[in-house]
Amino acid sequence: MNTIVIYIVASLLRILQFLFFARAIMSWFVQGSSSQIYELLCLVTEPIIQPFRSLLSRINALRSIPFDMAFLLAFLVLIALEQVLYML
**Which range among 14-23, 33-42, 51-60, 70-79 shows the weakest confidence by mean pLDDT?**
33-42
**Model's pTM, two decimal places?**
0.86
Q: Are 13 and 81 in contact (CB under 8 A)?
A: yes
Chain centre distance of CA 24: 9
Contacts of 67 (CB under 8 A, 6+ apart): none
Half-sphere exposure of 28 (CA within 13 A, CB side): 4
The domain spans of the chain are: 2-87
37-71 pLDDT, tens digit each = 999 999 999 999 999 999 998 988 887 888 889 99
Q: Does residue 9 surpass a pLDDT of 80? A: yes
- DSSP H helices, the chain, are 2-27, 36-56, 69-87
Q: Does residue 32 surpass a pLDDT of 70? A: no
